[in-house]
Structure 1
Amino acid sequence: MNTLSSHILDTTSGKPVEGIKLTLSRPDGSTLTGTTDSDGRFKDWGTPFEAGIYTLRFHCHEYLISTHGKSFYPHIDICFELGDEGGHYHVPLLISPFGFSSYRGS
């Protein structure tokens, strides 16, 4: 069984980002949604995940415009593969108006 969490940090302010909508596309084409909490985190997908390729969309445009006045990215998609061995996967996102990065966290 795989589990999944995410965390968003604004690298310009050095703070977590609350209220970002997330859309997770599953291998079967279905989607799940969530919203980051006051610490910029989300983990309550309500289901374990099978192995396969997923896309996690971070809807960051409104936040970047309201906070920084500019945004190059209307959304950011991170595509990743969950294995069949089970385990926890963490997909953090570091954002600014003109850049982002991600990695497999713990």
Structure 2
Amino acid sequence: MAEAGYLSTHMLNTAEGVPAAGVVVELWRLEPAPVPVLVARTVTTADGRNAEPFYPNEAGFTPGLHELRFAIGPYFAGRGLGSGFYDVVPVRVRLEAGQGHYHVPLLCSPFGYTTYRGS
């Protein structure tokens, strides 16, 4: 198992009550850069989590505004539930040095989602 990282995520498919496996998730750094920078791209595992933490052990970490982009439209379409209303769900988070492990869960269905800062 990977060591605790600076940022992790977990997705749950609330329409079917299962982890959201196989979802493409991208992490973008929005500032302090003049243009967005793709930091990492991953696909959620069978338990709906990113296999490796973003910024593992703070390697390459830059404080500032970041955006996780969850491709839930293709995920739900692939499960035969239609693409729903949402295609890509962006979740902006401000990551600061010295704040420990950030965890961003996403609970989603084809027609809605919610998120919070987890532990």
TM-score under structure 2 length normalisation:
0.80
Establish whether residue 15 from structure 1 lines up as the match of residue 18 from structure 2: yes
Does structure 2 retain, via aligned residues, the 8 Å contact 1:6–1:43? no
Q: Which has the higher strand share?
A: 1
Task: Measure the CA separation in 2 of the matches of 1:87 and 1:43.
Answer: 19
Task: Please state how far the C-alpha of 1:69 moved relative to its aligned partner.
Answer: 2.3
Establish whether residue 6 from structure 1 lines up as the match of residue 18 from structure 2: no
1:20-99 superposed matches below 5 A: 20-26=23-29, 27=31, 28=33, 29-31=36-38, 32-42=40-50, 44=52, 45=54, 47=56, 48=58, 49-67=61-79, 68-99=81-112
* Paired residue total: 105
Deviating above 6 A after TM superposition, structure 1's stretches of 4 or more consecutive aligned residues are none
Name the Cα RMSD after superposition: 1.6
User: Which residue does the alignment assign to 1:101?
Assistant: 114
Structure 2 residue ranges without an equivalent (≥5): none
